[in-house]
Structure 1
Amino acid sequence: MSQSITFAYPGDLSLNTGGYAYDRRVIAGLLESGWPVQRLSLGEGFPAPSPEMKREAERRLSALPDGGLVIIDGLAFGVLDEWAEREARRLRIVALVHHPLALETGLDSTQQSCFHGCERHALSFAKHVVVTSPMTARNLIADYGIRSHQITVAIPGTDPAPIATGNGDPPHIISIGTLTPRKGHDILISALKAVEHLPWRATIIGSQTLNPETATLLRRQVEALGLADRISLAGECDDPRALLAGADIFALASRFEGYGMVFAEALSQGLPIIACRTGAIPEVVPEEAGLLVPVDDIGAFAQALHSLLTDKTLRRAKAEAARRAGAQLPGWMTTVDIISTALRALP
């Protein structure tokens, strides 16, 4: 039997975000592969927890037995540097980094510097680091002092799903992403206003509770632009595959992505994609499958929407390329096998 693993995570593991979905699938896959896995909640508020919550998280982790193998989600691990320094000799710590904390949208330079320093310090005490994209691996090597042999890249898997028919009338534009500043829904909404004269309807799927201020601003934006009858802010969806199958275009104006699971899911269902050329998105979305534009460029995003809405031949060609690219993506057991192999190789 494999050694027991403790999988430590911040917040609510059931939340419908890409990071938590990845955690859930890895835990399930490790269990299926024969690893005994114990889940350990580290509490709320990460990566900026209250002092009391941070101390409680450290207490829970320090209660693990000597020699224990613990995987810690980077949303929490990046600010547990002092704990990691104290416990690194006693525990076998594996960090799971979706993307570095300092790259979150909306941070000022002081916050960026603080997160970068803490996470770099914390990662120096990890026995190994799992990342979800080659781009994040390169970033950790270049900016965080991690050596390549200490990193395992395990890109997210995709599930079998029906291919989109692409015959909506009017065309259905779908976007999936928690309502936070990083996801750039404000850019998408403004760009949709610029193509208001064309036939379309749009659905934005994503939690409206993780960042209530952003959710409120987006609702007000939709109403102020007179688009409430055409844009649906639909909230969370446990399984969006049926919605993606009924869509014509996937559009998300993220300001940064460490990988971007929703783009892979859209590809796997044969949807042409409009996105921004940032983070790992160009590595996930091939040029032939989508239109990538600069970050925060409403005009360019609107032009991309216009192109796919008005040129059915282009839309079909992008959709077919997306389907081909999606067919090459790994399944979740491939992701889990990569992580499992790395864990078995730990000293």
Structure 2
Amino acid sequence: MTQDSRTRQARPTPETRRVLVTGGAGFIGSAYVRMLLADPVRPIAVTVLDKLSYAGNVGNLEAVRADPRLRFVHGDIRDLALVDQLLPGHDQVVHFAAESHVDRSIDAAAEFVSTNVGGTQTLLDGALRHGVRTFLNVSTDEVYGSIDTGSWQETEPVAPNSPYSATKAGADLLCLAYARTHGLDVRITRCSNNYGPFQFPEKVIPLFVTNLVLGRRVPLYGDGLNVRDWLHVDDHCRGIELALQHGRPGEIYNIGGGTELSNRDLTKTILELLGTGPDMIEPVTDRKGHDRRYSVDWSKAARELGYAPRRTFTEGLRATVDWYLDNRDWWAPLRGLEPVASTE
């Protein structure tokens, strides 16, 4: 045996990282899974657990479905027996699964409480029973409520105003309680408004883009002056991964995009990108309890994790609009339409 071959034999093989991703067929969860599997030689095994509700779509994972490192399980995070079957052997849980549409939560909150709070509790108990090393809960800036000026830091108390955000705040508090009571390594990320490809067309950007493609007007709530910070989904996923790799147990990390826009300005920008004007705006009655402004201070994530958004909003929005223009076959069925065959 030569010295070179002995050296190669002695080099340790990287340990395979085993991650359970709940809601991994949804918009953000699938982007995270695709990111994890982007390196074809990364030693990782990813299990996706998703019940494929209306916003879950296995097509979101098409780019990685053939990867032998990926296992997809169709199921509900509230199914205790299934959770107990899946969790053994996993090092990490990244928890995306949630009911997430504010308007739906206003009309019918029970499913939000059951999934977002009860489902999180089922996963936390399972993580304790089966020795999961790290549990990361993907949360939202909406748990803070509304802020007129300045930006929320992670030390701010939660003050949710919608049934959706109240259930996400409840999940966060459960996670922190399990960290303090049981010593479970729980980490929480709170993101601002996400956008990007594969987002279900009930959310404002894909709704407006697809409406305009269909020649329909776009519904703008109230006076249109509600302000949101916009975060590209790829930057959000990088922030989550940084929190897993470099974050501290029991800590919360805000993940922001750095671009605050009123809904009116966002609408104007989308109209311009689609070559239409303000006549395509349909003013509608404001949402009940509509938070006026969200803004997160993500300096802690920058300082401790090395996080910073890489996608400018101008470039990211243009790419997102182009994606919806090029992928009608993906979104048309979700809007109850027949896909249109390409004319190219």
TM-score normalised per structure 1: 0.38
Q: TM-score, normalised by structure 2?
A: 0.38
